[in-house]
Amino acid sequence: MIQSMDMTALDEDTLGGRIFKARDMCGMTIEDAAARLGVTLDTFTEWENDRSEPRANKLMMLAGVLSVTPAWLISGAGEGPDQSIVSAGLAELSGELDRLVDLNNEVTNGIAALRDRIDTLLRASSN
C-alpha cells in the first residue's frame, strides 16, 4: 500500500538550498558550520551550491548541527528549521532597531541644541 504524502509540507528547495536555509536560520556562518563538521570551507560551499553532497555520516552530523531532521535535508519532508528562532530573531532585531532610532533621535536633538547654543554665543560675541 502506498501512503499519500501531504505535498504542502515539502520544502521544494534543493539539498544545498535547504542546507543554506537551515544554516542561515541558525545564524551560523559558513566558516563556523564547516569547522563544526570538520570539513573544509570549500567542501561546505560545494554542498550549499549543489556541486556535491555530504556523505551519510556528515549528513547526520549536519542535521544535528543545524537542528533539522535528516529527512528534511534530503527531501524537504519533516522537521525543517524552527520558525520560532526566526520570530525570536526578528523580535530581537526589531527591539535593537527601535533602540537605535531612539538613539539617533537623541543625537539629532543634541546636535540641534548645540548648534542653537553656538549660534547664540556667536551673536552675543558679535554685539
Q: Residue 121: left if φ>0, alpha if ψ -120 to 50, beta else—which one?
A: alpha
Packing angle of the helix pair 30-37, 56-66 (nearest 10 deg): 130
Task: Report the CATH architecture of 10-81.
Answer: Orthogonal Bundle (1.10)
The span from the CA of 30 to the CA of 50, in Å, is 15
pTM for the whole thing? 0.59
The pLDDT tens digits for 49-86 are 999 999 999 999 999 999 899 999 999 887 677 665 66
The pLDDT tens digits for 99-117 are 999 999 999 999 999 999 9
